[in-house]
Amino acid sequence: MESDKLLILAVDDDATIRMLLEFLLKKRYRVVLREDGWDALAWMGEGNLPDLILADLEMPRVDGISLLEQVKASGAFSHIPVVILTGHESQELFQRCKSAGADDYLLKPFNPDVLYHRIDKALAAGVRVG
Amino acid sequence: MYALIQTEIDSAPATRRAARWVSAGPASCHLASGLGPDVEQACADTAFRAWRLIHASHVPPLAVFCDASLPDSDVWSLLARLRRESPFRQVPFVLVSEHVDKSLIIKALQLGADEVYDIDADPAAVRRRLAFLRSFKSEQESPVQEEETRRRPPVSSPRRLLDITLSSLGLLLSMPLLLPAALLLWIESGYPLERVQRVGMGYQVFDLYQLRSRRKERRDTGEYTRLGRWFSRMGITRWPQLLNVFLGDLTLSGYEPLPLQVAEQLTTDEWAGRFLTPAGLTGPWAGITSASARRRLEKDFSLSRKPWSGLKIVLTTLPLAFRDLVLPTED
Question: What pLDDT is attached to residue A115?
Answer: 92
User: What is the sign, positive or negative, of the torsion defined by CA atoms of B321, B323, B328, B331?
Assistant: negative
Q: Would you say residue B170 lies in a domain?
A: yes
Q: From A21, which residue of chain B is nearest by alpha-carbon distance?
A: B267
**High-pLDDT (> 70) share of chain B, %:** 72
Question: Is the CB of residue A125 less than 8 Å away from at least one CB of chain B?
Answer: no
Alpha-carbon distance of A61 to A51, in angstroms, equals 23
- Whether residues B127 and B187 fall in one domain: no
Residue range of the domain that includes B60: 2-139
How close, in Å, is residue B273 to chain A by CA atoms? Answer: 7
ipTM exceeding cut-off 0.95 for this assembly:
no
Q: Domains in chain A: how many in total?
A: 1
Q: Of the candidates B2, B115, B202, which has its C-beta nearest A74's C-beta? A: B115
Q: Do B147 and A33 touch (CB under 8 A)?
A: yes
Q: Which residues of A touch B108 (CB under 8 A)?
A: 47, 76
- Whether residues B168 and B314 fall in one domain: yes
Domain's final residue, options B83, B107, B139 = B139
pLDDT of residue B20 exceeding 70, the answer is yes
Domain's final residue, options B113, B139, B165 = B139
Q: Of the candidates B102, B144, B275, which has its C-beta nearest A19's C-beta? A: B275
* Contact residues for B212 (Cβ-Cβ < 8 A; gap 6+): B185, B189, B191, B192, B193, B194, B225, B228, B237
Q: Do B267 and A43 touch (CB under 8 A)?
A: no
Q: Would you say residue B278 lies in a domain?
A: yes
Mean pLDDT of all residues in B133-156: 62
**pLDDT tens-digit series, residues B96-132:** 998 889 999 999 999 999 999 999 899 999 999 999 9
Q: What is the CATH number of the domain that holds A26?
A: 3.40.50.2300
Name residues 88-107 of chain A within 8 A of B (Cβ).
Answer: none
Q: Domains in chain B: how many in total?
A: 2
Q: Do A47 and B110 touch (CB under 8 A)?
A: yes
Question: What pLDDT is attached to residue B5?
Answer: 33
Mean pLDDT of all residues in A3-22: 89
Q: Which residues of B touch A34 (CB under 8 A)?
A: 147
Q: What is the CATH number of the domain that holds B125?
A: 3.40.50.2300
Q: Would you say residue A130 lies in a domain?
A: no
Of residues B58 and A36, which shows the higher confidence score? Answer: A36
Alpha-carbon distance of B125 to B166, in angstroms, equals 63
Neighbours of B56 (CB within 10 A): 8
Of the candidates A126, A64, A75, A124, the one whose C-alpha atom is nearest the C-alpha of residue A100 is: A64
Q: Of the candidates A18, A70, A112, which has its C-beta nearest B264's C-beta? A: A112
Question: What pLDDT is attached to residue A48?
Answer: 95
- Whether residues B205 and B101 fall in one domain: no
- Whether residues B128 and B163 fall in one domain: no
Q: Would you say residue B109 lies in a domain?
A: yes
Name residues 51-70 of chain A within 8 A of B (Cβ).
Answer: 66, 69-70
- Whether residues B114 and B203 fall in one domain: no
Q: Would you say residue B180 lies in a domain?
A: yes
How crowded is the C-beta side of B119, counted as CA atoms within 13 Å? 12
**pLDDT tens-digit series, residues B300-331:** 555 444 555 556 666 666 666 555 444 444 44
- Whether residues B57 and B100 fall in one domain: yes
- Whether residues B174 and B61 fall in one domain: no
Question: What pLDDT is attached to residue B150?
Answer: 43
Question: What pLDDT is attached to residue A127?
Answer: 54
A28-37, A86-95, A96-105, B164-173: range with lowest mean pLDDT:
A86-95
CB pairs under 8 A between A and B: 113
pLDDT band at B274 (very low <50, low <70, confident <90, very high): confident
Q: Would you say residue B230 lies in a domain?
A: yes
- Whether residues B101 and B211 fall in one domain: no
pLDDT of residue A114 exceeding 70, the answer is yes
Q: Of the candidates A16, A47, A75, which has its C-beta nearest B106's C-beta? A: A47
Q: Would you say residue B151 lies in a domain?
A: no
Question: What pLDDT is attached to residue B95?
Answer: 94
* Contact residues for B163 (Cβ-Cβ < 8 A; gap 6+): B155, B245, B246, B248, B250, B251, B252
Of the candidates B57, B35, B206, the one whose C-alpha atom is nearest the C-alpha of residue B124 is: B35
Mean pLDDT of all residues in B163-183: 89
Q: From A14, which residue of chain B is nearest by alpha-carbon distance?
A: B269
Q: Would you say residue A80 lies in a domain?
A: yes
Q: Would you say residue B63 lies in a domain?
A: yes
Q: Would you say residue B229 lies in a domain?
A: yes
Q: Of the candidates A19, A75, A87, which has its C-beta nearest B268's C-beta? A: A87
Residue range of the domain that includes A54: 2-125
